[in-house]
Amino acid sequence: MTVLSSLFLLMCIIAAESKIFQNPQEPPPKDVSIDRDIFPVWANITQRVDHFNPVDKRTRTMGQIFRRRHGPPPTDVPIGRASSPVWANITQMVDHFNHADKRTWSMRYIHNDECFKRGGPMVITLGGEWTISTADLMTGAVYDIACENGGYMFDTEHRYYGESQPMSDWTSENLKYLSADQALADLAYFIKYQKKNNKDLQNSSVIVMGASYSATLATWARIKYPHLVDIAYASSGPLNSKVDLYEYYEVVGDSLALASSSCVEVIRSAISEIETLLETEEGIANASTLFKTCQPINVTEPSRSFFFNTVADTFAGLVQYAYPGDIERGCFLVENTTGSNVEKVASYIRTQYSGDSCMLSYSSFLDLYTPTNITSEMTRQWLYQICTEFGWFQTSTSNKQPFGNTFPLDFYIQLCKDLFGVE
């Protein structure tokens, strides 16, 4: 298998609905129609600063932005009964495409028959690069579609995420069964198994649903297994795949500009001013303090790209999961700060690193995601998927975005090699 094979896809870019921010002196009003506090998007995971030194007990909060951009679809207020979704396991083949390989593993899923009427459809929401949760079957489109049609709800966990682990660790060798084809074959077997083992589902039509990467899977499932899947409901499923997804940061820039054209200009100027700062030792020291980096910024590649990518990623995180008003509020924080453009942007970035937390360096990022132990995290597996199969690298290649050409395609290729080896 080559590091970059021919299949590439992109995940969702949820373009924010932006209303124009009327008075730049006033923070935009909070949107009261959406209760954001019930299912917060932000989360922290406490990580050791040094995993390999048992004496060093320092910890750091990280992962918020990455997890935010690769989390499950946000859920609404539950309308279903909390007691209804039930956890279960199904035995799956490790390798669906090698019949000599008889190894199996236990895939986790959730089912809910609260609205089921005999003969009703199977409504399966597909897991993506996240841990599944019972809330997925208590609200939202899955719940509505199932309950309006007497459907039987299922939520399947994607192999290698959450507790659905086919192998004992995440070495590159053991990650080789992590592919869209294997995940689709898991689904095909899952459908056949349910139909065989539940007489009431014998003749049911099958609706698969997903958002982002899992919407891509839903679409592919309908194309690949038309005899098993009748309807695919795909929300923001990226189907147009490519290695250099430079368009991603164009959309981030456009969305920021829609919220505030002066905000995007502050960012554009700040990036170029940071590039100048990083040319001198004193500038590096100043930028390191301003951006609250855990160590002084390392200007050798790929560390330098990683720093700029982290800055850009913070704005991408703001845009990608924005509810109406969020981008305006972010831009207000940027612009409503005194100081230079760099200080304005840095002050916004620092809001992401409160308390003891600080901006990771490339080498600490590698220290976190090179270990092959199975954890509740999803970063290493998702990076493996994009490195080996999907590409979809969100580069700064386009000149129609505000982040300069500070994290080119080479940066991502190096990251893949550093995490998973050359092959």
Q: Which of 6, 354, 376, 399 binds ligand NAG (CB under 6 A)?
A: 354
Which residues lie closer than 8 Å to 197 by C-beta, 6 or more apart? Answer: none
Nearest CA to 378 among 170, 63, 129, 127? Answer: 129
Site for ligand NAG in 177-236 (CB under 6 A): 199-200, 202-203
Give 89 or 197: the residue with its C-beta nearer to ligand NAG: 89
With binding defined as CB under 6 A, does residue 42 bind ligand NAG? yes
Q: Which of 1, 38, 88, 223 binds ligand NAG (CB under 6 A)?
A: 88
> How many whole angstroms separate alpha carbon 264 and alpha carbon 257?
5
CB of 396 to ligand NAG, least distance (A): 18
Sketch the per residue contact string, 273 through 292, with ligand NAG: x for CB under 6 A, - otherwise.
Answer: ----x--x-xx--x------
Site for ligand NAG in 95-114 (CB under 6 A): 106
User: What's the CA angle centered on 313, arms 310 and 316, to 5 degrees?
Assistant: 165
- Stretch of 87-95, 179-187, 220-228, 322-330 lying at the interface with ligand NAG (CB under 6 A): 87-95
- Find out whether 157 and 127 touch, Cβ atoms under 8 Å: yes
Q: How many CB atoms lie within 10 A of CB 113?
A: 18
- Find out whether 178 and 159 touch, Cβ atoms under 8 Å: yes
Give 63 or 238: the residue with its C-beta nearer to ligand NAG: 63
With binding defined as CB under 6 A, does residue 54 bind ligand NAG? no
Which residues lie closer than 8 Å to 136 by C-beta, 6 or more apart? Answer: 72, 75, 85, 110, 125, 142, 155
Report in angstroms the alpha-carbon separations of 29 from 85, 105, 264, 352: 37, 50, 21, 21
Q: Which of 35, 355, 399, 423 binds ligand NAG (CB under 6 A)?
A: 355
Q: What is the DSSP letter of 85?
A: -
With binding defined as CB under 6 A, does residue 44 bind ligand NAG? yes
Q: Which of 152, 161, 177, 362 binds ligand NAG (CB under 6 A)?
A: 362
With binding defined as CB under 6 A, does residue 411 bind ligand NAG? no
Nearest CA to 277 among 333, 345, 227? Answer: 345
With binding defined as CB under 6 A, does residue 5 bind ligand NAG? no
Give 111 or 245: the residue with its C-beta nearer to ligand NAG: 111
Report in angstroms the alpha-carbon separations of 284 from 9, 273, 340, 360, 365: 36, 12, 16, 15, 20
With binding defined as CB under 6 A, does residue 37 bind ligand NAG? no
- Stretch of 40-48, 260-268, 396-404, 405-413 lying at the interface with ligand NAG (CB under 6 A): 40-48
- Find out whether 107 and 89 touch, Cβ atoms under 8 Å: yes
Interface residue list for ligand NAG (CB under 6 A): 25-27, 40, 42-44, 61, 87-89, 106, 118-119, 199-200, 202-203, 277, 280, 282-283, 286, 298, 300, 302-303, 336, 338, 354-355, 357, 362-363, 373
